Structure formats: structure tokens, C-alpha cells
């Protein structure tokens, strides 16, 4: 659920983006180039130097996006595997009931 919330936030930021699809910080009108891992939110370079994020772990936003993409894919695969298993169990139970 938390990963989906983050993806929605990143997607929302992308749709609010400035010219050329570049996402901008609402506070500083700077490009959102970093991702604060503590707050799970995209930030600009000015925000990075602020008291709010100075001691937080920060990575380039592209790197964070790739990491979350991999996590999504892993979760999707787990869900697909569970679905396959459940469909197999359902079929087996239907066969028993016949």
C-alpha cells in the first residue's frame, strides 16, 4: 500500500509538471531531481539543503524510480504466482465436488 501511495504521489507530481514535462517543487519552483528516502517524496536541490531534509538519505529521482519499478515488478510477480496457485486449488476443489 505504501509503494502504491508513493507511485501515486510521483505520478501526481509528473502530471503537475512544468514545461517539457519537468516536475517542479511547489515551494521553490525548482526541478525535482532528488528523492528523500526518509519522507518518501521528490525534492529539489534547495529542499535538500533545508533543515527539513539535510540529514535525510537522498538519491537521484531516476534511481529511486528504477528501484520502485523493480519492487512493483517483484510484487506483481508474487501476486501472479499466488493467483495461479489459487486457480489451481479452485480447479482441484471443483473437481472433487463433481
pLDDT at position 19, please?
A: 44
pLDDT at position 46, please?
A: 93
65-87 per-residue burial string, b: 16 or more CB within 10 A, e: under 16: eeebeeeeeeeeeeeeeeeeeee
Mean pLDDT of 89-94: 92
Mean pLDDT of 56-69: 92
pLDDT at position 8, please?
A: 73
Report d(CA 92, CA 32) in Å as an integer.
52
7-55 pLDDT per residue, tens: 777 766 655 554 455 788 888 888 999 999 999 999 999 999 988 898 9
The verdict on pTM exceeding 0.85 is: no
69-90 pLDDT per residue, tens: 999 999 999 999 999 999 999 9
Amino acid at each position: 500500500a505504501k509503494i502504491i501511495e508513493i507511485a501515486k504521489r510521483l505520478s501526481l507530481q509528473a502530471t503537475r509538471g512544468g514545461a517539457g514535462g519537468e516536475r517542479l517543487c511547489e515551494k521553490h519552483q525548482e526541478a525535482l531531481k532528488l528523492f528523500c528516502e526518509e519522507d518518501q517524496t521528490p525534492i529539489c536541490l534547495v529542499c535538500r539543503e533545508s533543515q527539513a531534509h539535510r540529514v535525510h538519505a537522498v538519491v537521484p529521482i531516476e534511481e529511486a524510480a528504477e528501484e520502485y519499478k523493480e519492487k512493483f515488478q517483484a510484487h506483481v510477480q508474487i501476486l501472479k504466482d499466488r493467483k495461479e496457485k489459487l486457480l489451481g486449488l479452485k480447479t482441484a476443489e471443483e473437481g472433487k465436488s463433481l
